[in-house]
């Protein structure tokens, strides 16, 4: 029996053709023409004027935070339940992440808890859309307006998603994307910062490339890093982007199919199909174990692996990260819903290349495991 991986990208469009074009023309560096074309098309898809491609989604968050002038002592509000890239973009600059709990159903930041976290040091809100449904952007934008805060939108998992009909990636001062292979558009590795501000875009272009001074090369007034994105990555990204609508449709069908297969399994909480502001695009198909189930997500991932199924646990909360605890951050903080998701949430194979017969196997194995688990818990 062959292993079903947690993710496998679909690369049967123009990827090979565009990559060959890179080789044939000799354009493999970040100066190549696909980079600009990808920036234009991706920013347009997100409803933005400017796009600056960078080496990955983590780099995009770092560049965005630097471009907005986040600095030592500033506070940035964000969900505790997210990937560490979000907190890192802030702590690397000497600023402090201020955390908020999550909604147990949509997995996104509980926006009603933001206001009481705002202090005179608060500089920005980092909105993160998680696992397929957008965060409540209206609430976030209203608070930002009221308190004169910047908004960074992490749309790394949201290619092709909309919030109340407007594209994710179009909200706030600056938005970021990732093109890691498990995202709806991949470039192998890659990221992008998108914005409507020419000034911010110019700043990001400089930050991406060692902050060379525009008048004299090799002279620097500021320090950043090398965050460049190559023409080879852009070739793949561009071919992927051409199929974005199709990819979103594939993911939605995948979500519908899994839900159909799993809806009667006791003790499994399935992803929300839609809210009043968006329809799930299932970045991954995330499942949460019910309170009555004693098993943890780590144990579940192991059981699934033994059955030949690749699965992953959900993110681990920022306030429980050993690295931040050691640094004295987030002492005695606790966020109940987020901690629950981090211990009980996991996702099953949901890559773009997943086939229906593989989904059937995944659903069957998961059902079988759940039955065994409920039996040993004494609930059946
Ligand atoms: C994937 C992801 C990132 C990081 O992107 P990389 O390209 O892996 O660095 C950032 N934020 C979120 C929400 C993500 O899912």
**Overall average pLDDT of the 19-33 stretch:** 97
**Overall average pLDDT of the 82-89 stretch:** 98
Which of 87, 19, 2 lies closest to 232, judged by CA?
A: 19
Query: For residue 277, what pLDDT is reported?
Result: 97
Three-state secondary-structure class, residue 312: strand
Two structure tokens written together for 72:
């030592």
Distance 130 CA to ligand 1 centre (A): 10
CA angle 208, 236, 313 (to 5 degrees): 80
287 neighbors 104 (Cβ within 8 angstroms): no
CA angle 47, 50, 51 (to 5 degrees): 95
Pocket test of ligand 1: the residue of 61, 63, 85, 192 to mutate, having most ligand atoms within 8 Å of its CB, is 85
User: What ligand 1 atom has the least distance to the C-alpha of 178?
Assistant: 7
Residue nearest to atom 7 of ligand 1 (CA): 57
pLDDT at 1 over 90: no
Question: What are the residue ranges of helices labelled H in 182-222?
Answer: 198-208
6 neighbors 351 (Cβ within 8 angstroms): yes
Pocket test of ligand 1: the residue of 56, 156, 161, 182 to mutate, having most ligand atoms within 8 Å of its CB, is 156
Residue nearest to atom 12 of ligand 1 (CA): 156
What residues have CB less than 8 Å from 1, skipping those under 6 apart? 308
Q: Is the CB of 156 under 6 A from ligand 1?
A: yes
Residue-wise pLDDT tens digits, 33-71: 999 999 999 999 999 999 999 999 999 999 999 999 999
Which of 166, 130, 126 lies closest to 143, judged by CA?
A: 126
Residue nearest to atom 6 of ligand 1 (CA): 57
74 neighbors 126 (Cβ within 8 angstroms): no
CA distance readout (Å), 38 to 227, 232, 274, 325, 336? 16, 11, 30, 40, 41
Q: Is the CB of 185 under 6 A from ligand 1?
A: no
pLDDT at 376 over 90: no
**Overall average pLDDT of the 246-270 stretch:** 98
Distance 266 CA to ligand 1 centre (A): 32
Summary mean pLDDT of the chain? 97
Residue-wise pLDDT tens digits, 134-176: 999 999 999 999 999 999 999 999 999 999 999 999 999 999 9
Three-state secondary-structure class, residue 1: coil
Query: Which residues on adjacent β-strands are paired with residue 289?
Result: 268
User: What ligand 1 atom has the least distance to the C-alpha of 128?
Assistant: 13
pTM above the 0.95 mark?
Answer: yes
Residue-wise pLDDT tens digits, 171-186: 999 999 999 999 999 9
User: pLDDT > 90: what percent of the chain?
Assistant: 95
Distance 24 CA to ligand 1 centre (A): 32
Query: For residue 125, what pLDDT is reported?
Result: 98
Query: For residue 270, what pLDDT is reported?
Result: 98
Compute the chain's Rg from CA coordinates.
21
Query: For residue 379, what pLDDT is reported?
Result: 67
Distance 271 CA to ligand 1 centre (A): 20
User: What ligand 1 atom has the least distance to the C-alpha of 190?
Assistant: 7
What residues have CB less than 8 Å from 356, skipping those under 6 apart? 257
Residue nearest to atom 13 of ligand 1 (CA): 156
Q: Is the CB of 175 under 6 A from ligand 1?
A: no
What is the set of domains in the chain, with CATH numbers?
15-241 (3.40.640.10), 244-375 (3.90.1150.10)
């Amino acid at each position: 029996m062959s292993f079903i991986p947690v993710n496998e990208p679909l690369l049967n469009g123009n990827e090979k053709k565009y990559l060959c074009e890179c080789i044939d023309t000799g354009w493999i560096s970040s100066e190549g023409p696909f980079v600009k074309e990808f920036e234009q098309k991706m920013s347009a898809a997100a409803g933005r004027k400017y796009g600056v491609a960078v080496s990955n989604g983590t780099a995009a968050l770092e560049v965005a935070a630097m471009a907005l002038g986040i600095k030592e002592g500033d506070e940035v509000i964000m969900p505790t339940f997210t990937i560490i890239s979000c907190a890192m973009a802030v702590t690397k600059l000497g600023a402090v992440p201020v955390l908020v709990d999550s909604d147990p159903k949509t997995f996104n930041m509980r926006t009603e808890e933001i206001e009481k976290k705002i202090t005179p040091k608060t500089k920005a809100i980092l909105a993160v859309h998680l696992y397929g449904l957008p965060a409540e952007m209206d609430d976030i934008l209203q608070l930002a307006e009221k308190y004169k805060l910047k908004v960074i939108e992490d749309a790394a998992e949201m290619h092709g998603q909309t919030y109340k009909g407007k594209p994710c990636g179009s909200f706030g001062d600056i938005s970021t994307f990732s093109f890691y292979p498990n995202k709806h558009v991949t470039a192998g590795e890659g990221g992008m910062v998108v914005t409507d501000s020419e000034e911010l875009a110019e700043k990001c272009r400089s930050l991406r490339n060692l902050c060379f001074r525009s008048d004299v090369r090799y002279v620097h007034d500021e320090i950043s890093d090398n965050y460049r994105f190559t023409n080879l990555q852009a070739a793949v990204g561009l071919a992927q982007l051409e199929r974005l609508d199709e990819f979103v449709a594939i993911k939605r069908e995948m979500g519908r199919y899994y839900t159909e297969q799993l809806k009667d399994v006791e003790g499994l909480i399935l992803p929300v199909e839609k809210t009043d502001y968006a329809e799930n695009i299932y970045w991954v198909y995330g499942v949460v174990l019910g309170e009555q189930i004693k098993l943890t997500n780590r144990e579940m991932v192991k059981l699934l692996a033994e059955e030949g199924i690749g699965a992953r646990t959900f993110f681990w909360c920022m306030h429980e990260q050993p690295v931040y605890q050691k640094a004295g951050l987030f002492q005695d903080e606790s966020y109940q819903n987020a901690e629950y998701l981090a211990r009980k949430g996991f996702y099953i194979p949901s890559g773009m290349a997943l086939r229906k017969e593989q989904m059937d196997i995944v659903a069957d194995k998961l059902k079988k495991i759940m039955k065994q688990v409920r039996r040993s818990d004494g609930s059946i």
